[in-house]
Amino acid sequence: MISSLRAYVRSTLDGDHVLVPSVIVGVLEAALSLAINVGNTSFRSFVTIASLTTFILGLLVSFTLARTRERLALIQSLLTEGNSGLFTLFQLMEVFPEADRDRIRLLIDQSLVEQVDYPLKENHRAGDSLNALVEAVYALQPESDREQLIYREVVETSMKMSSDRSSIETVAGQGLSPAEWSSLLLLLAIFLVVIGALTNGSVLSAVVLGALGGAMVALMVLLRKLDMLRWHERTSIWEPTERLFRMMGSDPYVPRSIITSGRFRPRGRVRVADYADGRDHRQKTVTLEEYPTD
C-alpha cells in the first residue's frame, strides 16, 4: 500500500497524472476562498477574477493556436512533398517496360486512394499501400543503362516518401490532449460566467460583453479545426489531391462525407467512396459520379 502510494506520488510529480491533483487543488482553493471571504463578494472581485481569467485564457489560446498552426503547416508541407514524390515516380516509370510501368502506376493510385481513406490523425493506418509501392519499386530489375540511371532516382524518391510518411505519422499524433482541452474549456466557462456578471445593465455593455464571449468561442472553434487538421484543408489538401489524380490520368477519389459536409466541392468526374462502417476502407463502395464543372 505504502509502496503503491509512493509510486503514485512520484508519477504525479513527474506529470503522469493531471486530473486527480487538479481536482484536489481546485476543491481546496475553493474552500479556502470561501473561508476567507464569506459575505465579502463585491463587483471589484468579479473584475479581478475576470482580468485574471482573461489573461490566462488569452495566453493559453494564443500559445496553443501558434503551436497547432505550426503543426498543421508542417504536415501540409510533408503531404505536398509526398504527393510531389508520387507524381515524380509516376513520370519516371515511363522508361521501364509496360508491365512494370502499369504495375507501379496502379500501386501509386492505390497509395493515394488509401491516403484519402483515412483522416490525417489516422495516417498510420494508410501505410500498407505505400509499403507495397516501395517494395515493388525495390523489386524492379533495370536492364538498360537508362533504366539503371532512372532506377536510382526512383529508389531515392521512394525512400524520401517513406521518410515523409513516418514524419507525418509522428506529427499528426501530437494533437492536444484531453487534459489540455479540459483546461481550456474550463477556463472558457469561467470566463463566460464572470464577464456575464460585469454588465451594468445597459444595452451597450451587454452587446460588448456578448461580442467578447462570441469572439472567444470562435477562437476555440478555430483551435478545434486546427487540432483536427481541417483548417484550410480544401485549398491545401483536397484541391491539390484532385489535381494530382487528374495529372496522373485518373479520376479524383474522395469520400462522400467530405462532399456532403461542404469541406470539398468536386468538379467533373469523381470516384466517390461510401463507407459501410465509419471510415474503414475495407468496407466501402466506390461509384463514378459527374459533378458540374462551373
- Dump pLDDT digits (tens) for 193-211: 777 777 666 777 777 778 8
Q: What are the beta bridge partners of residue 116?
A: none
| Bridge partner list, 271 | 253, 288
Higher pLDDT, 2 or 85: 85
Does the pLDDT value for residue 29 go beyond 60?
no
Fill in the amino acid letter for 130. Answer: L
Rounded to two decimals, the pTM is: 0.75
Q: What are phi and psi of 116, to 5 degrees?
A: -75, -30
pLDDT at 9 over 80: no
- Burial status of residue 214 (CB atoms within 10 A of its CB: 0-12, 13-18, 19 or more): exposed
At residue 115, the pLDDT reads 86
CB contact burial 12-44 (16+ within 10 A = b; e otherwise) = eeeeeeeeeeeeeeeeeeeeeeeeeeeeeeeee
Q: Where are the domains of the chain?
A: 1-40, 42-250, 252-294
